[in-house]
Structure 1
C-alpha cells in the first residue's frame, strides 16, 4: 500500500469525521438526542478528556483540569508526529498492507480528535442550552488547546437490572453499550483491533 493511498484514506476519514462533528455542533444542543433505531441514537455530548471522559487530573490532585487538558492536547500533538513517522517509514519499507492500513486509521482518528481539542474552543461558542455557531462574533467558548471533542454515536443495545449478588454493580442498572463516541474513535479502535487480530500479518517474522 503506497503512501498516496494511505494519505487518501486519512483525508476521507478526516472529512467524514469533521463534517459529522460540525453538523452536530451547529444543529444540536448539548445532550440532545435523536432515535435512529431502538438500539442506535445520535446523542450529542462533548468530551473534555480521554476515553470515556477520563481526565489526567483524575489521577492526581496536584494538577488542575485546565493544565491537564493542555498537557493531554500537547501529548496528542507529539504522538501524532510519531504515528506519522511510523506510517511514512512503513510505506517506505513496503511493509504489510495490514500494518499500513491500521496505522493510517489510527493516525486519521487521532488527528480528527486533535482538531477538536486544538481549534473547537475558538471556532465555536458554547452548546449548553443553545445551538453553537461557527466563528461567532462574541468569540469561542474557550481558548486554543482547550476545545472539547464532539461525540455523537450511541448504541444502547440493551439494559438490564443486575441482581443484588452481582459483584461491584449489585442492584444497579447495566447499559450495554454505554460509551458515546465519534468517527475518529471508530478509526482508532479499528486500527488497534487490526493490529491485535492480524498481528502476525502486520508484523511478519523475518526468516
Structure 2
C-alpha cells in the first residue's frame, strides 16, 4: 500500500473522468442546443470537443495534434515514474496526493487523444489518421463572462471570448494538483529547506 494508494487515486480519477466523458457523449447534444444549466447562468454542462491541450489551447501545424499526443505519452510516463521516486524518498504526503492527481489528469486526456478518434469517431475530418488524433471531450463551463473584447485591448482586442474556458475532470485534476502544491509549498517543502540550511550552517 506504500505505493498503491497513490496510484489507486490516479486510477479512480481516470475512471471518473472517462465515465463523465462517455456519459456526455452518449446523452448530450453538442453545443448550445444540448447545454444544461446547473447553477443559474454561471455553471453549465456544455458538450464540446477540444482538439488541443488543457483548457482549449492548441499546438499549430498539420502534425500538431500527433506531436501533442506523443508528448502527453512521454509526460504521462515521466510523471508516473516521478511519483514512484517521490514515494521512495518519503516526501510529504500532500505532494504525493497532488502528483497522483496530476498523473490522473495527464492519463485521462491521453486516452481521449489516442482512442476517441477511432472508437468515438471524433477525430477532425482533415486528420491523417484517427489514431492519436482524437479530440478531448470537455463539458464543465463556468460562465463568468463572455463577449467581445474592446478593440483597444492588446492582443485580444476585437475577439469574442469567454473569461473561463470549458474543461473536464482530467483538466480539473491537473489544476487542483498543481494548485495544492503551489498553495502549500512552504508546508510541503519547508522542513527540507531547513534541513539543508542546518547542514550548510
TM-score (normalizing by structure 2): 0.81
Deviations 1:60-110 (A, max 9, x none): xxx31xx11111000000011110111001111211111101110100010
Structure 2 counterpart SS, 1:95: coil
CA contact under 8 A between 2:122 and 2:135: conserved in structure 1?
no
> Displacement of 1:170 after TM fit?
6.5
Question: Could you tell me how far apart the structure 2 residues matched to 1:90 and 1:5 are?
Answer: 14
Partner of 1:144: 131
**In angstroms, what is the RMSD of aligned CA positions?**
2.6
Residue 80 of structure 1: which of 61, 73, 76 is its match?
76
Q: Which runs of 5+ in 2 are unaligned?
A: 196-201
* Count of paired positions: 185
Residue 121 of structure 1: which of 111, 114, 117 is its match?
117
> Displacement of 1:125 after TM fit?
2.9
Question: Could you tell me how far apart the structure 2 residues matched to 1:83 and 1:174 are?
Answer: 32
Q: Which has the higher helix share?
A: 2
Question: Could you tell me how far apart the structure 2 residues matched to 1:13 and 1:28 are?
Answer: 22
Q: Which runs of 5+ in 1 are unaligned?
A: 58-62, 129-141
Q: Is structure 2 residue 109 aligned with structure 1 residue 110?
A: no
Residue 188 of structure 1: which of 174, 187, 196 is its match?
174
CA contact under 8 A between 1:40 and 1:156: conserved in structure 2?
yes
Structure 2 counterpart SS, 1:115: helix
